[in-house]
Chains A and B, each alone.
Chain A
């Protein structure tokens, strides 16, 4: 059986000639009762990206979205079904859209593109890990928010089993990315450093609202997804949100993207 990740790359190449399918559907967990902070962030990032590209898509919420996903490196969510093909997580979806030449941010030269890709990977790693850390390693957040929400869609004995499995996976992810032995101060330091990098990048082009020039790009989408989720999610421990709030330019940036893509032009499909 060929690798799922590799076949995603291969199909993205093959599909480049076909137009964007009409029935593209984005799958995600229930937003009100179920979804957790890291998943919410990645779902929002993908939605922002597709909206920036002006591609039509349908959102379907289902309880077992994570288990339907073909797999990925971090949260495995969201995944998109476009025609007969399925792609999960931000990067494969972006690759797929780029092959169709409907993507945004095609104007940059090669070096800028490489830089931008590394920023995307930084934002994805640091924020996802920080969100996982706060959701699963902070006892209070885990007991009061993460466990009840994640278990809410399952009946009694199943919810404990699901929580146990989910927490074990999350802790393993933190271990692999070498975040398991950090304390909360180190996590905040890392998040603050990443925000600093983003704010510095944003200030490089002060007269434009986006990170790279007049046009939005992947970096805008993923930064918005994570920052906005962190800012708007209420948890018993608001350390992450307080850290992000110190960066006024980033808060401003989130507000701008939210207004532009999610408030005014929001047309439910």
Chain B
């Protein structure tokens, strides 16, 4: 199989200037862009088509590779391994630290994005629903919630479905803060964690922290903590600006300068905006039709016409009869 021909990575559309809103998607995108793999990215994707009900997936011809680990294996085989430029010690350390960051931030990410009921209802569900076509938008966001339930149960040993005051999230926050402190110290003033070359560790740290840092959740205690570590903020902003220059997307910018000649909007973003507009029109027409059909079914049109004519006739004849009688 040739990766250059028609390979396409399907991810969720971004927000807040990030290329995507989902951690797994962002991780896969990092693999692609760090290694400069020439592959197209499709942001108008349907999770149903992946076969596993989740994004990201990579399609090459008829073959589908779902999830980060499968995509990584394909890229490794095709000659775009992410840790290629590291020495042996750094390669081992990269895998070790990547695993450690996963242990410390995975539960935090899942709890505060999908598990915390207010956050999920106010922000996250909407984010995912907007990026999933109708009618799947009613179903797929809640699959993330169910997955988060398992993650929190295993890694933080409490149940998301319990009452809110039984959620023992302090431990998650404490662990995540400790992890961020160590990451900040380890990054120091370097460009990447291992000096001048990128690694899988950079990809995973960026993916977690960028989303946690940029997302606008009602309750997100780690966001301010990350703000306190200036080098991590710079790290996030630099990668967002330099590497995802063309893919960063924010829904607020285009509506502010909506004059039709927006140069920043790429083709797929245009399609996204247009499809949103056409959805509104279709919904309006559909609502009108439905109301009209309901009215016809209840026989309102018949009633209106028949009643008015009989009323009119009745009064006239009555009056006429009365007048005739008097005469």
Contact = CB atoms under 8 A, between A and B. Distances in A.
A4 interface: yes
A176 B170 contact: no
A172 B153 contact: yes
Interface in A121-161: 121-122, 125-126
A200 B88 contact: yes
Contacts, number: 73
Interface in A90-139: 110-111, 114-115, 117-119, 121-122, 125-126
A6 interface: yes
Interface stretch (B38-46, B155-163, B192-200, B206-214): B155-163
Contact of A6 (B92, B154, B170): B170
Interface stretch (B2-10, B96-104, B230-238): B96-104
B168 interface: yes
Contacts of B92: 196-197, 200-201
B93 interface: yes
Nearest to B66: A181
Contacts of A196: 92
A5 B171 contact: yes
A-side interface mostly? helix
Contacts of A197: 92, 95-96
A206 interface: no
B186 interface: yes
A6 B171 contact: yes
Contacts of B170: 2-3, 6
Given A4-B157, A73-B155, A118 B100 contact: yes
B295 interface: no
A117 to B, nearest CB: 7
B69 interface: yes
A72 interface: yes
Contacts of B97: 118
A125 B99 contact: yes
B69 A176 contact: no
B151 to A, nearest CB: 5
B281 interface: no
Interface of A: 1-6, 9, 71-73, 110-111, 114-115, 117-119, 121-122, 125-126, 172-173, 175-176, 178, 181, 193, 196-197, 200-201, 204
Interface of B: 67, 69, 88-89, 92-93, 95-97, 99-100, 103, 150-151, 153-158, 166, 168, 170-171, 174, 182, 185-186
29 contacts: A2-B170, A3-B156, A4-B157, A4-B168, A5-B156, A6-B168, A6-B171, A6-B174, A9-B174, A72-B157, A73-B157, A111-B186, A114-B186, A115-B96, A118-B93, A118-B96, A121-B100, A122-B95, A122-B99, A125-B99, A125-B103, A126-B99, A172-B154, A175-B150, A176-B154, A178-B67, A178-B69, A200-B89, A200-B92
